[in-house]
Chains A and B, each alone.
Chain A
Amino acid sequence: MSIAAANVPLQSGRKRGVWRGRIFVALLVLSLLVGFVALGTLFFDVLSKGVAYVDPVLLTNSPSSDPAVAGARPALLATLYLGILLILFTVPIGVGTAIYLEEYANRDRWYNRLLELNIQNLAAVPSIVYGILGLAFLVRGLGLGRVLLAGALILTLLVLPTVIIAAREAIRAVPSSIREGAYALGATQWQVVWRQVLPAAIPGIATGSILALARAIGETAPLILIGALTFISFNPTAMGPFTALPVQIYNWTKLPDPEFKALAAAAIIVLLIMVLLLNAGAIWLRNRYQKRW
């Protein structure tokens, strides 16, 4: 019997199945390449055109009609301010909403379910729509004017759903046995949330917030809509007119002088580095505080 078994060839005769597998893998690699090649081409194009212009002049000078001395300092600073304000606004509101939805809301109530559905939908609303809302409601309705604070508030609205969803995932990932253990010791709901659930969820919340920030920093459309597309040669303030780095890039690409196009490429590199640093920070946080239960 064992001899009979040994006589059966181990090579499979099912060539068709083998080919199917190979075609499938080839398709997977192809879909990877589409994204990779497109991004790679853009990246090298930008790098080859702009790298020579990434210098102190770009970082410290104001924009100018003379490309030799033109820089992006006001735009760069405005982007930094926008980022800081964004974190200040988004994290407390986003985490607060997530805590309410995960820990307090009764999911059997229709209004809580409606709220959840709407948050999911808001995450998919195009950014230009937030820009229109900001223009109508913040800039004109509340009379804030075309100021940096209005820009920060619009970006806050834009990324809030993303932050809420990320924070909810992080809070949900805290095992219920941790909550039960804390309740069983006589902790109140407030103590359970504040001392156990939130500390355990912080790595996930931080990662989600940073990724949302990275997205917001590259946003252009809503800022253009509220009037960030102006020539600003002074440092921005919260209540003053402003331009942001992606808007500055857009601005430069429209100018006929090819040197400005190179400057735009250089500013893109700076923006890429900022986003890359933020993402790297998110990955570091995730690995540093990764929990096992």
Chain B
Amino acid sequence: MNIIETPVQLAQQAERQLPSAEHREVVFDVSALTVSYGDKPALKNVSLEVYRNFVTAFIGPSGCGKSTFIRCFNRMNDLIPSAAVEGRILYHGEDLYGAHVDPVEVRRRIGMVFQKPNPFPKSIHANVAFGPRVLGMTNDLDGRVERALQQAALWDEVEDRLDESALSLSGGQQQRLCIARCLAVEPDVLLMDEPASALDPISTTRIEDLMHELKRDYTIVIVTHNMQQAARIADMTAFFSVEVDEGQRSGLLVEYAATPTIFTKPADKRTEDYVTGRFG
């Protein structure tokens, strides 16, 4: 028996019971999306669909634009003045970048967990309660905080110290707190930008188990540079790569398919080289 399993083996083993193609509900419909910072393109001409209650993973080498891409879904790129987004993202049929869309409303429905755990320098309770408070969801706040922490599998570890600083938690606990913080506002989608890359293996496993649980209620989009992780948890996987054009590096989508397909019989040579470890 192999102790270290390859992404390919993991992708074959993982159980996946997913709706067939005709029963898939599209949450995000991305077409011809191009993102640039100033006059430097970061990501060119990406089109794909993200399905409801799926875990969708974006993999690829550094600089391929996968983090830039995930930040388009909750309009976090709006915070960078030089960022410009072209093309279209439909969210349940509505244009995310439409003229009358308020990015604040978008972010209420589409939560985000960041690469480095970023708890607020406040108590554990105040961290989870922040979202509901700013959105005016203050009915039964304590119950809401408890449910969110339970969903994030953190409640048992913190229930008798909710008033302690969130900064006293371990890195893995902090990241689960950040997940709980998102869940407290009952989002539709969870975006995760390399959520486990700053964590130890045990914490990583816990986060991955958590994603399996959360998939039932949420649509999850995750960026990861860990291929084993993508193979273990993702239903669909998109492989991004870097292209050098006239001296400028930019990211592009190479291949998007069901995870077993990406890892066992990719259609593109570049995908195959990457998932088998020959490149990147």
Q: Distance (Å) between the CB of B186 and the closest chain A CB? A: 11
B window 127-160: CB within 8 A of A:
130-131, 133-135
Q: Is the interface of A mostly helix, strand, loop or mixed?
A: helix
Question: Residue of B at shortest CB range from A192?
Answer: B134
Cβ A200 vs Cβ B135 within 8 A:
no
A253 contacts chain B at the CB level, 8 A cutoff:
no
Given contacts A177-B114, A180-B76, contact A186 B135 (CB under 8 A): yes
Cβ B116 vs Cβ A177 within 8 A:
yes
Q: How far, in angstroms, from A200 to B112 measured CA to CA in the complex?
A: 22
Interface-facing stretch out of B3-11, B177-185, B235-243: B177-185
Interface-facing stretch out of B50-58, B91-99, B103-111, B261-269: B103-111
Chain A interface residue bracket vs B: 20 to 34
Cβ A186 vs Cβ B178 within 8 A:
no
B74 contacts chain A at the CB level, 8 A cutoff:
yes
A182 contacts chain B at the CB level, 8 A cutoff:
yes
Chain B interface residue bracket vs A: 20 to 34
Cβ B112 vs Cβ A191 within 8 A:
no
Q: Distance (Å) between the CB of B115 and the closest chain A CB? A: 9
Q: How far, in angstroms, from A180 to B130 measured CA to CA in the complex?
A: 13
B81 contacts chain A at the CB level, 8 A cutoff:
yes
Instruction: Report the tally of A-B residue pairs with Cβ distances under 8 A.
Output: 69
Question: Residue of A at shortest CB range from B109?
Answer: A186
A185 contacts chain B at the CB level, 8 A cutoff:
yes
A254 contacts chain B at the CB level, 8 A cutoff:
no
B window 179-197: CB within 8 A of A:
181-182, 185
Contact partners of B131 in chain A: CB under 8 A: 185-187
A160-184 near B? 1/0 per residue, CB < 8 Å: 0000000000000001011111111
Q: Distance (Å) between the CB of A5 and the closest chain B CB? A: 40
Cβ B104 vs Cβ A186 within 8 A:
yes
Q: Distance (Å) between the CB of B129 and the closest chain A CB? A: 11
A293 contacts chain B at the CB level, 8 A cutoff:
yes
Cβ contact of A182, chosen from B111, B116, B130, B167, cutoff 8 A: B130
Given contacts A186-B131, A186-B135, A191-B134, contact A181 B120 (CB under 8 A): yes
Contact partners of B119 in chain A: CB under 8 A: 181
Q: How far, in angstroms, from A261 to B217 measured CA to CA in the complex?
A: 81
Cβ contact of B107, chosen from A175, A185, A200, cutoff 8 A: A185
Question: Residue of B at shortest CB range from A181?
Answer: B118
Q: How far, in angstroms, from A186 to B111 measured CA to CA in the complex?
A: 8
Contact partners of B107 in chain A: CB under 8 A: 183-186
Query: Which residues does B use to contact A, with CB under 8 Å?
Result: 74, 76, 79, 81, 104-105, 107-108, 111-112, 114, 116, 118-122, 130-131, 133-135, 167, 178, 181-182, 185
Query: Which residues does A use to contact B, with CB under 8 Å?
Result: 106, 108, 175, 177-188, 191, 195-196, 199-200, 291-293
The 10 closest A-B pairs by CB, nearest first: A186-B108, A177-B118, A185-B131, A184-B112, A186-B107, A181-B118, A187-B134, A191-B134, A291-B121, A188-B104
